[in-house]
Structure formats: C-alpha cells, structure tokens
Amino acid sequence: MKAKFQFPSFFSAFLILVACNKDKVSVVEDVCHSWEAKSFMSIESVAYPKNENTTILLTFKKDGTYSLKLDINSCGGTFTSGKNGKIEMESPACTEACCDSKFSEKLATMLSKVTTYEIDESVLKLHIPQWGYIECEIFNSSLINPNR
C-alpha cells in the first residue's frame, strides 16, 4: 500500500520541480560582449552614485581591445584574459579629462586595478582586490555580434 502512494508523491514532486525551474534567458560564457556598468560593490560606493538616466557601456572585443562609453567621454584600451577568470586591463585613454559623472570617473580609474572577473548568466563582476567589484549587466543581448 505504501508503494502505491510513494510513486505519485515522487512524480508530483518531480513535476513541481520541473515546472518551477526558470528558463535561463541568457547564459554568457565569454567576457567579449557589451556590458552596462550598473554599480560598485565597495565600501566607497556611496560616494560614487550612478545616474540611472545614463548608460555607461564597457565593450570587450575579441582582438584584445575594449571601449568605454562614459556619460560624455569615450575611452579605450587593451586587455588580456586568462584561465580562472584572470584579467588585466590597461588604464583607459579617454577623449577628455572632464565633464563625466563621479561614477564614470571612478569606473575609468578602477579598470586598471581589476584582476579577475566572473560571469553569472548575464551579470559580469570585475573584482578589485581590497576594494570590491564593479557590477555590469549584458547590454541588449539580441544585438550582440559574437564575432567581435
């Protein structure tokens, strides 16, 4: 009698687990995409708020270069990535040294201090030792060119 009730219970539990499992919309495995810088996760983050009406874009290209679109200025540089999420980025060269928000200016200065990254579905975290990390989200994934 017990066996008759156990099978429907297990089957029902299996159906609930499968039905409640979210489909992963975008699983990114490579850093070479366009990312929108969203926030700093650091003790200093309060001093550098991001204006929600601006889109700050960091784009990594397969040729080892990156571009950075700030509030006003555009920047660029090179990077190398290795195993286990290792990454080195040179300081970005920007068009001017003024006019951007505190968030943008801090982002530009912190990129050369990034040592590792991790990607969790559509979120990129750029880690900076003894400081925290920069959190980015993939930008408009439907327009991303995988051949960058």
CATH of residue 93's domain is 2.40.128.270
Q: DSSP of 36-101, one letter per residue?
A: EEEEEEETTGGGSPPPTT---EEEE-TTSEEEEE-SS-EEEEEEEE-GGGBEEEPPPEES-SSSS-
Counted domains in the chain:
1
- The two tokens of residue 142 are 């439907």
Residues contacting 6, CB < 8 A, separation 6+:
none
pLDDT in tens, 72-104: 999 999 999 999 999 999 999 998 878 899 999
Mean pLDDT for the chain overall: 82
pTM of the model: 0.75
The residue segments making up the domain with residue 112 are 34-141
Higher pLDDT, residue 111 or 7: 111
Q: Tell whether 73 is covered by a domain.
A: yes
